[in-house]
Amino acid sequence: MTLVIARTREELAAERSSFGTIALVPTMGALHEGHRSLMRRARGLAGTVAVSIFVNPLQFGPNEDLDRYPRTLTDDLAVCADEGVGLVFAPTVETMYPEGRSTGVTVSAGEMGTIVEGASRPGHFDGVLTVVLKLFNLVRPEIAVFGEKDAQQLAMIRRMVADLNVPVWIDACPTVRENDGLALSSRNRYLSPPERVTALSLSLALRRGAAAAPDGPAKVLKAARSVLDEAADTEPPLELDYVKLVDPTTFHEVDEDYVGPAVLAVAGTVGSTHLIDNTPLYLTPEPPTETR
Ligand code: AMP
């Protein structure tokens, strides 16, 4: 299949009608195996896989890494061709946010946009939802595929689609990891070798936490925290942002006696790199204490 590349809204509009059903994979580029897994998933869901590549300024805070975020379009196009992608939409900032022609209307992520990752990154989820809705309106996919790596983002996109009656089916793929557990991320390339070792504490904390699931929420958090506390004392240190055990759909923290599905979410900074990770887990009722 030849890969069609659209850089403008006009090019995209001209190409759209030649494709049947589309499964869209929205990305910010610097594509890795995690993105590839979404493309493979999309391939099984629709006649054409479309990938958008756009580093969205609206979702970056003033002190975040917008300027240094990796931009590797040539390599990304080779990855897309390799994965049998039919259409790449790689717009410029001017195409997505034409200067002087925007009224400033955006999507509000609501209360959920202000908690967990949203508490550390004010406005981040408004920016994510706004660009995702714009991409949906431009590409007009039947399906869109996202990663569980960004679990709160995924939950909020599902909510937006439900709340605003957006006619796109949302599908999701599990997090792809390196053999040692580190979740793949475009930001991993910022990490020096010693920083990468410290960063492993995030996925280790999730594994330790998940292993404690049969003992209840408090033990899950205790097990995860003990790994993260240790990482805070190593060199280079982990600056822990949060570790939270939350309901997978609301992202509210679960109670001590909660039973059911949950997400253990962690975030922290190593050097100057902000990393997030999470794992789904299931909290079973505490086994009854034996009475004799
Ligand atoms: P990004 O380019 O980081 O904005 O990510 C684009 C999409 O890829 C999002 O839906 C992410 O959740 C997903 N993604 C990023 N990293 C991974 C990973 N390690 N495993 C699975 N999906 C991922």
pLDDT in tens, 142-175: 999 999 999 999 999 999 999 999 999 999 999 9
pTM for this one?
A: 0.96
Residue 274 has pLDDT above 90, yes or no: yes
CA distances from 276 to 61, 89, 216 (A): 16, 26, 23
Question: Which residues approach ligand 1 with their CB closer than 6 A?
Answer: 27-28, 34-35, 37-38, 146-147, 149-150, 173, 175-176, 183-186
pLDDT in tens, 118-127: 999 999 999 9
Nearest to 275 by CA among 240, 249, 245, 236: 240
Residue 285 has pLDDT above 80, yes or no: no
Residue 93 has pLDDT above 60, yes or no: yes
Atom 14 of ligand 1: nearest residue by CA position? 147
Atom of ligand 1 nearest to the CA of 148: 12
CA distances from 190 to 57, 70, 193, 223 (A): 19, 9, 10, 28
How many C-beta neighbours within 10 Å does residue 151 have? 25
Report the C-alpha gap between 87 and 19 in whole angstroms. Answer: 9
Report the C-alpha gap between 120 and 104 in whole angstroms. Answer: 23
The pLDDT assigned to 104 comes to: 86
Report the C-alpha gap between 104 and 169 in whole angstroms. Answer: 27
Site to substitute for ligand 1 among 33, 35, 55, most atoms within 8 A of C-beta: 35
Atom of ligand 1 nearest to the CA of 37: 21
Atom 18 of ligand 1: nearest residue by CA position? 34
pLDDT in tens, 1-25: 799 999 999 999 999 999 999 999 9
The token duo for 172 is: 């999701």
Instruction: Compute, in angstroms, the gap from residue 34 CA to the centroid of ligand 1.
Output: 6
Q: Give the amino acid at 232.
A: A
For residue 254, how far is the Cα from the chain centroid? Answer: 21
CB 94 within 8 A of CB 16: no
How many C-beta neighbours within 10 Å does residue 212 have? 19
Strand partners, 49: 23
Per the annotation, the verdict on 35 as an active-site residue is yes
CA atoms within 13 A on the CB side of 20: 5
Instruction: Compute, in angstroms, the gap from residue 181 CA to the centroid of ligand 1.
Output: 15
Lowest mean pLDDT among 120-129, 190-199, 240-249, 281-290: 281-290
Report the C-alpha gap between 99 and 44 in whole angstroms. Answer: 38
Residue 292 has pLDDT above 60, yes or no: no
Atom of ligand 1 nearest to the CA of 147: 12
Check residue 187 and report its DSSP letter.
Answer: G
pLDDT in tens, 19-28: 999 999 999 9
